Structure 1
Amino acid sequence: MLVRQIYADNNLRNFHYLIACEETREAMVIDPLDVDRCLDAAKKDGFKITTILNTHDHWDHIGGNAEMKEKTGAEIFCHAGASKKIPDVDKGLVAGDIIQIGRQVKLNVMDTPGHTESHICLLSNEKTPSFFCGDTMFNAGVGHCKLGGNPDKLFKTFDEQINKLSDETKIYPGHDYMINNLQFTLDREPDNEDAKSFLKKLEKQSPHDAYVSTMKDERKINSFLRLSSASIINELKKSFPELGDNPNSKDVFLALRELRNHW
């Protein structure tokens, strides 16, 4: 499997992805807002885009669909629940579906509500998995729930699915928010030496060559995966004294999500 991460260089800091079969050079593009950048990258590597995958229905993830479909003839795939919100969908997907690209690439569809009601993530079935997570999860953070989402469902997605991903899993999110998210981590957990180290190492990185984190990294630097941290809980109690000394994981997650909304 070949993966190309493409930075849109816009105000929302979108990432697009090309996932290609090394043998046939057939490719899928994920959330192609900046069509020209995606097509240029495909041309450079000799990829033929046959599939467009939308992780969810927000405009900055579907805005390039029509142009991409017109220029490539690719089919549009999305969550079955979002198929009426996204124009010209060819196939609605549900949890457990398999997307095949060329002869070699197979991606498992995961139903991951929270950021929106109908959101999918993709997990490759390679020895070292890749997780294409749209706006469900970011490097050192998670998606918001302000535009039709649900924080309780987002917690359930993390608790029942994302927390079970192996340490080796590579994380490919829909936006480049890592620096800001690391700063939030340190605001919540000032003694997190791993987050300090990552921030120092990456604060001047180019998003065109962004660091690809793993779940092992995320478990060290992502507050939303560190719900039992005493430092996080102590800091949260300053804003949410009702949490008490031994809050459950869901209450910590929801408190963090609420703070991040206004941070």
Structure 2
Amino acid sequence: MIVEQIWTANAYRNFNYLIACPETGEAMAIDPLDHKKCLALAKERGWEITQILNTHEHGDHIGGNKAMVAATGAKILAHKNAKDRIPGMDRGLGAGDVVSVGKSVDLEVLDTPGHTMSHICLLSRTDQPGLFCGDTLFNAGAGNCHNGGHPNELYHTFAEQLSRLPETTQIYPGHDYIANNLRFTLDREPDNTEAESLLDKVDHQDTDHAMVTTLAEEKKINTFFRLQNPTVIARLREAFPELPDEPSPKEVFLKLRELRNSW
């Protein structure tokens, strides 16, 4: 499997992706908002884009579909419940489905509600898995739930799916928010030396060659995985005095998401 992360340099700080089969040269474009950059890179590499995968239905993820289909004839794949919100969708996906690219790339579909209720992530079936996670999981952060999602569902996605993936899983999110997310981590957990060290490295990183974290690293620097950390809980109680003496992980997650909304 070949992965190309494409920095759009737009106001939303989107990442687009091309996943290619090295044997056949077939490729899939993930959330190709900047269709021109995606097409140019595929042409440079000698790849044929045959599929478009939308992680969810928001405009900054499906906005390049029409032009991409016009240029390539690629089929559009997305969550089966998003068919009324993604024009021209060819294949609806559900949990456990497999998306194949060429002869050598298989990606498992995870049904990951929270940011929206029709959101999917793709997990590569490779020696080192890659998670293409749209707006569910960001480097050092979690998606918001403002436009068609729900924080309860996002918590369950984190707790019951993402946290259980292999520690070596590489994280490929839909946006570059890592520096600001690390600042939120340090606001919640000022003694997190891992987050402080990483912020120094990525604060002005070259987004054309952005850092790719692993799940193991995320569990050290992403507050939304650190729900039983004493400092996180103590700091949270300053903002929410009504928090129980021993809050559940879900209570901590929901209060963190609430704080992040206005932070």
For Structure 1 versus Structure 2, the TM-score category normalised by the shorter chain is: over 0.9
**What corresponds to 2:71 in structure 1?**
71
Report 1:1-263 matches (<5 A): 1-263=1-263
Secondary structure of the residue aligned to 2:200 is helix
Report the TM-score, using the length of structure 2 for normalisation: 0.99
1:3-60 CA distance string (max 9 Å, x none): 0000110000000000000110100000011110111111111111000000000000
Native 8 Å contact 1:110 1:123 kept in 2: yes
Root-mean-square deviation over aligned CA pairs: 0.6
Q: Which amino acid aligns with 2:31?
A: D
1:184-204 CA distance string (max 9 Å, x none): 000000000000000011112
Native 8 Å contact 1:4 1:18 kept in 2: yes
C-alpha separation in 2, matches of 1:159 and 1:81: 23
How far apart are residue 244 of structure 1 and its match?
Answer: 2.7
C-alpha separation in 1, matches of 2:113 and 2:104: 28
Secondary structure of the residue aligned to 2:220 is helix
State the percentage of identical aligned residues: 57
Native 8 Å contact 1:94 1:111 kept in 2: yes
Between 43-52 and 103-112, the greater mean CA deviation after superposition: 43-52
* Gap regions ≥5 residues in structure 1: none
C-alpha separation in 1, matches of 2:110 and 2:77: 13
1:54-95 CA distance string (max 9 Å, x none): 000000000000000000010000000001110001110011
C-alpha separation in 2, matches of 1:142 and 1:62: 20
Secondary structure of the residue aligned to 2:259 is helix
Q: Which amino acid aligns with 2:143?
A: G
* Gap regions ≥5 residues in structure 2: none
C-alpha separation in 2, matches of 1:72 and 1:50: 7
Secondary structure of the residue aligned to 1:99 is strand
1:95-119 CA distance string (max 9 Å, x none): 1100000000000000000000100
Secondary structure of the residue aligned to 1:95 is coil
Secondary structure of the residue aligned to 1:241 is coil
How far apart are residue 127 of structure 1 and its match?
Answer: 1.1
C-alpha separation in 1, matches of 2:57 and 2:226: 29
Native 8 Å contact 1:233 1:245 kept in 2: no
C-alpha separation in 2, matches of 1:237 and 1:99: 44
C-alpha separation in 2, matches of 1:242 and 1:106: 47
Moved over 6 A (4+): none
How many equivalent pairs are there?
263
C-alpha separation in 2, matches of 1:175 and 1:201: 18
Secondary structure of the residue aligned to 1:242 is coil
Q: Which amino acid aligns with 2:84?
A: K
C-alpha separation in 2, matches of 1:2 and 1:63: 24
Report the TM-score, using the length of structure 1 for normalisation: 0.99
Q: Which amino acid aligns with 1:258?
A: E
How far apart are residue 245 of structure 1 and its match?
Answer: 2.5
